[in-house]
Amino acid sequence: MARDYYRILGVDSKATDQEIKRAYRRLARELHPDVNPDDSAQERFRDVSDAYEVLSDPEKRRIVDMGGDPLDSSPGPGFGGFGGAGGFTGGLGDVFEAFFGGAAGGSGRGPRSRVRPGNDALIRMQLDLEECAAGVSKEITVDTAVLCDKCHGSGTDGDTRPETCPTCHGVGEVQSVQRSFLGQVMTSRPCPTCGGVGEVIVDPCTKCGGDGRVQKRRTMTVKIPAGVGDGMRVRLAAQGEVGPGGGPAGDLYVEVVEREHEFLVRDGGTLHATVRVPMFDAALGGAVSVPTVLDGQIEVEIPAGTQPGDTRTVRGHGMPQVNGGVRGNLVVHFDVQVPAKLDKRQAEKLRAFKELFPEASPSVARRGTDAHEGVFSRLRNSFAGR
Ligand SMILES: [Zn+2]
Ligand SMILES: [Zn+2]
C-alpha cells in the first residue's frame, strides 16, 4: 500500500513547499533521535523523514499524487512505485507502462541484467547554527544494503549457477494483448517469474536469499564544511545502497537540518540579533554584549540618540560561505523600550525631566516626514505578515 505522506507530515495535498518544510522542521525538532531517543519517536522520525524526502521532491511528489509510492521498493517487475503497487488497476497500469516506458527493459530488448545500480540514500543531520558556521565532523549511522559477503553478489549458493527461466525461456518478458480505451494494445511485461532477468536462482545464497546484498548498519564520519545551511546536502560517493545482484552502490547524501538559534536569526549569509534598549540607554548611548556564531560574545555600541528600529551592521560577523569568500554581516536591531509602568517617584522625576524639553509635545506627523513614514512602513510590514 502507498503510504499517505501528506498525513504523516500533517499537511494537506495542496500544501506549498514552504508549508511542507515548516511541518517537517517542527516534527523533526520534536522527534529527532538526539532529542527523543525512544523507539516509537525514532520510527515516526523515519516516517516523517521519508515523507519529507518524497514531498520536497517535485518528481516524487508527482508520483504520490498519481497514487504511487516513490519509496516503495517492493521486489517484482516494474520500477519503483508503479509496477503492481496498489494505485492502478491492471489494464490501465499496463497502458501507463507502455506509454511512459515504465516497464524497465520491457520493450523487446531482451532480459535485463540482474545486476543493477543501487539507490541513493539520504539521511538528515541536525546542526546548531554554530556548527553550520564552523563546519563539523560527525559520526553517522547508516542502515543500507551492502554487498553480501557470502556470495559476493552472485546470489547463488556455493558453486551453483542460475538457470534459464521456465516461464519466459530467458527472454525476460511476457506479452499479452490488452483491451483498453485506446483499442487493443500489445503490451509486454517483465516476466513475473524471474522479474525480467531471464534466469532464476534455484539454490539461492543462504545469507542474502539471492539478492546479492544484505542490510547492514555501519557508522562513518562525515565532514560538513563551514557555511552550510538548512537543506544543503553533502554527497558521499558510493556510500548509498548496493544494487540488486551486487550492483554498484548509489551515493549517500547527508542533508543539513539547521536548528534554530536561541538569539540569532539567519537569512542566508546575514545574521540578525534584536537588542532591547531601555529608552535611557537609547538616548545616552552605551554598549551591549551580543552572541556571534564564531567569535563568542562581542561588544556592540549603542549610539547616543538611537531611535526605535535603528540597526547597526557589524561587518564579517555573519555566516561564512561554503566556498570561502567574504563572510556575511551581523545586523543588530535596536528595540527601544519605554517603561510600561512608573511608580510615583519615577513619574515625578520624568515629569521634571520633560520640563527640560519645552518644545517636545505630541503632534500629528505631516505626511512624508520621517516619523510618518517610519510608523506606516512598520504598519505595512506587519500587514505583510513580517
Ligand atoms: Zn549472498
Ligand atoms: Zn522469466
pLDDT of residue 336: 96
What is the C-alpha to C-alpha distance for residues 173 and 187, in angstroms, rounded to an integer?
10
Domain 262-338: give its CATH code: 2.60.260.20
Residue pointed to by grid coordinates 520491457: 106
pLDDT of residue 97: 39
Q: Are 231 and 126 in contact (CB under 8 A)?
A: no
Which residues lie below 8 Å from residue 72, measured CB to CB, with a gap of 6+?
2, 80, 81, 85
- Assess whether pLDDT exceeds 80 at residue 183: no
What is the C-alpha to C-alpha distance for residues 308 and 287, in angstroms, rounded to an integer?
16
Of all ligands present, the nearest one to the C-alpha of 155 is: 1
Percent of the chain with pLDDT over 90: 54
Cα(237) to centroid of ligand 1, in Å?
24
- Assess whether pLDDT exceeds 60 at residue 75: no
Q: Which residues sit opposite 109 in a β-bridge? A: none
Q: Are 223 and 135 in contact (CB under 8 A)?
A: yes
Q: Which of 150, 298, 277 is nearest to 216 (CA)?
A: 150
Cα(205) to centroid of ligand 2, in Å?
19
What is the C-alpha to C-alpha distance for residues 159 and 155, in angstroms, rounded to an integer?
11
Helix/strand/coil (H/E/C) assignment for every residue in the chain: CCCCHHHHHCCCCCCCHHHHHHHHHHHHHHHCCCCCCCHHHHHHHHHHHHHHHHHCCHHHHHHHHCCCCCCCCCCCCCCCCCCCCCCCCHHHHHHHHHHHCCCCCCCCCCCCCCCCCCCCEEEEEEECHHHHHHCEEEEEEEEEEEECCCCCCCCECCCCCCEECCCCCCCCEEEEEEEECCEEEEEEEECCCCCCCCEECCCECCCCCCCCEEEEEEEEEEEECCCCCCCCEEEECCCCCCCHHHCCCCCEEEEEEECCCCCCEEECCEEEEEEEEEHHHHHHCEEEEEECCCCCEEEEEECCCCCCCCEEEECCCCCCCCCCCCCCCEEEEEEEECCCCCCHHHHHHHHHHHCCCCCCCCCCCCCCCHHHHHHHHHHHHHHCCC
Cα(111) to centroid of ligand 1, in Å?
22
Cα(119) to centroid of ligand 2, in Å?
24
pLDDT of residue 26: 85
pTM of whole model > 0.75?
A: no
User: Regarding predicted confidence, which is higher, 369 or 376?
Assistant: 369
Domains 5-101 and 262-338 belong to one CATH topology = no
Cα(246) to centroid of ligand 1, in Å?
9
Main-chain dihedrals φ then ψ at residue 161, nearest 5 degrees: -120, 150
Q: Give 34-47 pLDDT, tens digit per residue.
A: 777 788 888 888 88
What is the C-alpha to C-alpha distance for residues 332 and 271, in angstroms, rounded to an integer?
9
pLDDT of residue 109: 59
Q: Which three cell numbers stand for residue 193?
A: 517469474
Q: Which of 379, 261, 357, 385 is nearest to 309 (CA)?
A: 379
Domain boundaries, given as residue ranges, for the chain: 5-101, 121-155+210-258, 262-338, 341-386
Domain 121-155+210-258: give its CATH code: 2.60.260.20
Domain 5-101: give its CATH code: 1.10.287.110
Cα(60) to centroid of ligand 2, in Å?
29
Of all ligands present, the nearest one to the C-alpha of 174 is: 2
- Assess whether pLDDT exceeds 50 at residue 311: yes
Cα(6) to centroid of ligand 2, in Å?
37
Cα(122) to centroid of ligand 1, in Å?
25
136 — alpha (psi -120 to 50), left (phi > 0) or beta? beta
What is the C-alpha to C-alpha distance for residues 9 and 131, in angstroms, rounded to an integer?
27
Cα(80) to centroid of ligand 2, in Å?
19
The mean per-residue pLDDT over the stretch 256-273 comes to 96
Q: Are 259 and 128 in contact (CB under 8 A)?
A: yes
> Average pLDDT, whole number, for the chain?
84
- Assess whether pLDDT exceeds 60 at residue 252: yes
